Amino acid sequence: MEGKDVQDSTEVVICGFGPTGAMVSALLSQYSVPHVVIEKDADINVDPRGIALDEDGIRCLQACGVYQEVFTKIGQCMGNFRFVGGRKPDLSREPFMEMAYGTTEGGTGHPGFLCHKQPEIERTLRTRISSLGVARVHLGSRVTHIEEDRDRVYVTYIDQAGKTHTVSGLFLVAADGKTGFTRKQYLEPRGISMQQIGTVSYDKEWVALNWRISLPTPETHPTFPLWAKGYTPEQVYDAFFPSDFRFLCNPDRASVCGRFGLDQDRLWRFEFVVLPGEDSTVMAKPEQIARVVHPYITHPGSRYGLGSKSIIYPLDCIEVLRCRPFRFSARSCNKWSLGRVILCGDAAHVFPPFGGQGIASGFRDALSLAWRLAIASKTLMNKEAEQDHAALFEGWHAERKQQLNKSLASTVRNGEYVTEANPLRVFIRDWWLWLVQMVPSWRHTMRLGNRAEGLTRFLWGDGKNMAFVDPLSGGMTIPQVYAVPLSSGPGNTKISFTDDVIFSAGKRGLFQAIIIASSGATARDLRAAAKGLSDASGGLVREDEITAFRDGNWVPEPGNSPSQVYRFAHGTEFAVDDLCRGRPEPIGYDPLRLVSELGRDKVVIVRPDRVVFAVCNDRSEMMLAAGKLQRLQTTGRIE
């Protein structure tokens, strides 16, 4: 911009370095896209805010190359969601419904939910970003001004020392939260606003508290009654703070509670709704916590054969890490991009607390946005064509809106179970769900929770700027299973996730092609048919990087590159591999899910966000898909 004192320039500027901003940065770093991150806080916020991450979110962390830390440092499988009725504050009460999220039936190769420590997620991502050496990060820096011209966006910020700087970029990604500068100060005056999502209306205040629990012992608490019954300190902890997450559907006050982080962290979250007429600040005070929460950690002595006197977990073994009110709502911005500025994460949408979708939705935003930024930045930097980047990001918003609505629907269902207060509807709910679970197939579907709907499949009708070929079965999320390279030979079962095989480090194509072959000959034939794919797609997908998968036993395949041919692995093989460390063994795992959903003897082109671009049966379909890829790269559209 003429007259602007610009000290720095880059391709992408990211405002905000929380989970979503860090995810965008990690992915752009892997794509070698230069970018600058501006974050107002000097250090990671140690307050564990979000604590639940679904399997899509785990898969996003895997895409950033940090899977080994997920179940060893960040958290552990959440197990079951137990929906407990009744007015009595009793965590041991049998649930009227249970969802089993410890299985791998969702199609991602991961268990359904991770109970995590948000600060550890951010720390892990930042370490990964630093190791890649692409991003320049300015912590303790506050954005004060944003401007745009025809070619660039300009962001002015004040650093920790109080000095003012301006950085320019091709695009600005705002991941600075629901009260961040970008939306509130820059985009809302231009017509972008948070709005109700469809017909869903939710806007309530809750109090959220985090406790760190230590163990009482016979030495520190000699008069604690359960020692006389032979309880160990760990057994006492398990009795008062049981595993599995609980949705307490108490018609007098809805609540949610459960462990989070690793077992050895002994962290516990309790959230409860603020009722009409109550002051949320008052409800977060210790005396109100004692009234609302302490009954749940107080047991009748009769439960242990100790008479009628109540037993409370020793309060001096509880450290309060946080206790504060929050306003939860379900809202989304009417537009997620305007000009060269793009909103993602909480800056673009907010969720109620019933489905663990806050961070996960921000991660989905990042995964599907980062590769589009990589394409747009490369095209504009190389001046390859007059690209319509607005169309590229409109397609991103159209896809994300569909997935957002799906996530919201499952969240709202959970919320309806938790917050129902009408006695008649509560009675019908409990008895209906009890009866439904008498039918094994219905019970299994119910236990799948939101995974019963299957992997996300985008519908073309919501926007013609979507980036997949609808007539060639594009738009579905590709399943993930486990695989073993055929070059390993019999008896050598070094397991990999199929995502990691398909998008392995060192590959030059942003998109990737895979072959699901019924025989070695078919794989060779399909590879031959893919000749010219690199040129036809403008280099977005390369024929020399195609990975072939087989569902048969180990057989040498002359003429194939053995390092790029894999067989699908069984769950028992994965269970003894290092990849299974810290997480449950795969239950409900289907090694042939790629085959059942995509078919055999196909060439499948996959986007970096694990969405199928096209399923091709022959060379003509491959060339058609490749041409649309090249058009996407140069114009931002596939039509």
pLDDT band at residue 554, thresholds of 50, 70 and 90? very low
Give bridge partners of residue 333 from the DSSP assignment: 194
**N-term to C-term CA, the chain:** 33
Percent of residues, the chain, with pLDDT higher than 90: 67
Q: What DSSP letter does each residue of 55-86 carry, written as one string?
A: HHHHHHHHHTT-HHHIIIIIEEE--EEEEE-S
Q: What is the pLDDT of residue 592?
A: 94
pLDDT tens sequence across 382-396: 765 566 788 899 999
Report whether pLDDT(560) > 70. no
Please give the radius of gyration of the chain, using alpha carbons only, rounded to the nearest integer. 26
Q: Does residue 610 contact residue 480 with C-beta atoms inside 8 Å?
A: yes
Q: If pLDDT is split at 50, 70 and 90, which confidence band does 2 have?
A: very low
| Residue 459: other Cβ atoms inside 10 A | 12
What Å distances lie between residue 338 and 135, 153, 169, CA to CA? 24, 11, 15
Q: What is the mean pLDDT of the chain?
A: 89
Question: Which of the four pLDDT bands, split at 50, 70 and 90, describes residue 494?
Answer: confident
Amino acid residing at 612: V
For the cut 90, the answer to whether the pLDDT of residue 352 exceeds it is no
Closest Cα partner for 339 from 616, 581, 538, 147? Answer: 147
Q: What is the pLDDT of residues 197-241, one digit of tens each?
A: 766 666 788 999 999 999 999 999 999 999 999 999 999 999 999
pLDDT tops 90 at residue 488? no
At 407 the three-state DSSP class reads helix
Residue 342, CA distances (Å) to 149, 178, 383, 420 in order: 15, 14, 21, 37
Read off the pLDDT of each residue in 588-595 and give the average, rounded to a whole number.
94
Q: Is the pLDDT of residue 118 over 70?
A: yes
Task: Using CB atoms within 10 Å of the CB of residue 630, give its burial: 0 to 12 exposed, 13 to 18 middle, 19+ buried.
Answer: middle
How would residue 425 be classed by pLDDT, with cut points 50, 70 and 90?
Answer: confident
- What is residue 636's predicted lDDT score, i.e. its pLDDT? 84
pLDDT the model gives residue 27: 98
Chain centre to alpha carbon of residue 115: 12
Which of 526, 528, 481, 524 lies closest to 616, judged by CA? 526
For residue 264, give the 3-state DSSP assignment. helix
Q: Decide: 115 and 78 in contact? Cβ < 8 Å.
A: yes
pLDDT digits (tens, 9 = 90+) for 149-160: 989 999 999 999
pLDDT (0 to 100) of residue 355? 61
What's the mean pLDDT in 598-608? 93
Give percent of the chain above pLDDT 70: 92
Q: Which two tokens stand for residue 253?
A: 């006050």
| Mean pLDDT, residues 403-424 taken together | 74
pLDDT tens digits, 289-332: 999 999 999 999 999 999 889 999 999 999 999 999 988 777 88
| Cα 539 from Cα 545, distance rounded (Å) | 11
Per-residue pLDDT, 12:
98
